[in-house]
């Protein structure tokens, strides 16, 4: 297992974990139970780790693009409508914020 992200807080860690998993990279959060003692622990106590070391470079590249906003700029104009509730969703999102339905796979 390799650490790919030191989180500033618990929400940050789980957001990054979810992002990686939505891109097919299995990830876990370690140290999330330690946040109650955060003031006494090093900043990197809560971190995101990937389970497959061979995907580290891919995970790191995806994560850097995500944190810089590159994915939002690339996919922001590719809006879609939720097939379940018809909500208009911006292109960078993979699930409907209204009902949670996953974005349909792109058809060729």
pLDDT value, residue 108: 45
Handedness of CA 60, 18, 14, 93 (dihedral sign): positive
Do 56 and 86 fall into the same domain?
no
Do 17 and 59 fall into the same domain?
yes
Q: How many CB atoms lie within 10 A of CB 53?
A: 11
Q: How many domains does the chain have?
A: 2
pLDDT tens for 46-88 read 899 999 999 999 999 999 988 887 766 666 677 889 999 999 9
Domain that holds residue 56: 2-68
Do 11 and 52 fall into the same domain?
yes
Helix (H, G, I), strand (E, B) or coil at 85: coil
pLDDT tens for 17-29 read 998 998 899 999 9
pTM > 0.85: no
């Amino acid at each position: 297992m390799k650490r790919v992200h030191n989180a500033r807080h618990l929400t940050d860690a789980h957001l990054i974990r979810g992002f990686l998993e939505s891109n097919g990279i299995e990830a876990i959060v370690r140290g999330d139970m330690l946040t109650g003692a955060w003031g006494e622990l090093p900043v990197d106590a809560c971190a995101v780790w990937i389970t497959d070391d061979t995907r580290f470079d891919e995970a790191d590249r995806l994560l850097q693009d995500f944190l810089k906003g590159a994915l939002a700029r690339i996919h922001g104009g590719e809006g879609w409508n939720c097939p379940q509730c018809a909500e208009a969703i911006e292109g960078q999102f993979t699930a409907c914020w209204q009902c949670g339905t996953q974005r349909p796979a792109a058809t060729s």
